[in-house]
A = this chain, B = another copy of it.
Amino acid sequence: MARKPADQTVDREDILWAAAEVLHRNGYEATTMKDIAAQVNLTAASLYHHFRNKDFLLLNVLEVGIDYTIAKLEAVAASDLSNADKLAGMIRSHVVSVTGNVAVGAAMVFEIRAVLNVSGKDGDDSFLAEFVARRDGFFARRDYFESLFRNVLLAGIEAGEFRAVDADIVTKAILGAHNWVGVWFRAGGRLSGEEVADVLVDAWLAALRR
């Protein structure tokens, strides 16, 4: 027995999303390749056909996660709404993403340190180099992601729509609140993702209202 027929074959994407889910449940180190493989009905060994190793797999998960989130955010950020409406839309969009796919959201929050730690990973030279490059690219994406929010805040303050708060800190506060949603939110709870988003939009807008 070796390869399963077509109705079984999975591709990178499938593995990535499945991995995100497992990672969310267990955390990076606590998640074994076997766990991830099981999620898509493969064996651990098979995973190595799709990814160089565990680190790259995680990095991939983070990459698709951040790209997915940024794409949704950019749509709103690029619109010609007022800054208040933009912020509202972005908060809603982000919170809904997080609640809709807890896996991605929480992976973003929790697994960073694991990726961060290049130290300790025995240098397979070429691997290491590519890993570091991609990891730094990921961090850059994260910064960009954060800047989307910060810029709206800044623009809103500039335009007199918002109070003159410390945009840097408030941005991080907003994102912190969202990230945390990924930790406690459970589908089927008292509120839907949209409803949670509404509460947060209301709160932040009130916090910024002049």
Size bin of chain A's contact surface: 35 or more
Please, which residues of chain B bring their CB within 8 A of the CB of A184? 172
Contact A176 B172 (CB under 8 A): no
Please, which residues of chain B bring their CB within 8 A of the CB of A173? 177, 180, 199-200, 203
Please, which residues of chain B bring their CB within 8 A of the CB of A203? 165, 170, 173, 207
A204 to B174, CA, bound (A): 11
Contact A199 B165 (CB under 8 A): yes
A42 to B200, CA, bound (A): 47
Contact with B along A162-186 (1 / 0, CB 8 A): 0101101110111111111101100
Could you list some 5 contacts between A and B, CB below 8 A? A110-B113, A166-B199, A168-B190, A176-B176, A176-B180
A interface residues (Cβ-Cβ under 8 A, vs B): 25-30, 110, 113-114, 117, 163, 165-166, 168-170, 172-181, 183-184, 190-191, 196, 199-200, 202-204, 206-209
Pairs A-B, 6 closest by C-beta atoms: A176-B180, A29-B29, A207-B207, A173-B177, A176-B177, A169-B199
